[in-house]
Amino acid sequence: IADGIAIDWGWPVTTITLKGVSIDNTEGSPEPKMLELESGRIGLDVSELLTFEIAFSEILLDKPKIVLEKDKNGNGNWSFGKNPEGAVAAEAIEPENDGDIPTIGRILIRDGVLRYKDAAKKTDLTMK
């Protein structure tokens, strides 16, 4: 859900501006939102899409609140597929496959909070 999304189509960089973004958390979580973002700006290098690569010139986030959690079975709230158990298990990235990771020129986070919770490991970390 977002209050506002604006796209400034440009070449080689298209700018996406976001305002009031939120993503609901998984059912049964005591935290109602997985993500809340006051505002943000993402610069997407569309020229890289021609080579099937994803590259962000910049990612600027204002007051993001992110809650990443795993339940007692190890399922993460960031797994949006039908098979969350398989989606949570991350494979090691081989050096020859590093193109699978988007390139990010610059990240700026202002007044952000990241919380990581793992029920099975009884872990609850908050980073500000």
- Please compute the mean of the pLDDT values over residues 83-106 and round it to a whole number: 59
Q: Which residues of 23-60 are buried (b: 16+ CB within 10 A; e: fewer)?
A: bebbeeeeeeebbbbbbbbbbbbeebeeeeeebbbbbb
3-state percent helix, strand, coil for the chain, nearest multiple of 5: 10, 50, 35
pLDDT of 86: 44
Q: Is 93's pLDDT higher than 50?
A: no
Residue 106 pLDDT more than 90?
yes
Say whether pTM exceeds 0.75. no
Q: Which two tokens stand for residue 93?
A: 């990235």
43, 45, 67 from 52: Cα distances, Å: 17, 11, 30
* Local confidence band at 2 (pLDDT 50, 70, 90 cut-offs): low
Burial class of 19 by CB neighbour count within 10 A (0 to 12, 13 to 18, 19+): middle
pLDDT band of 79, cuts 50, 70, 90: confident
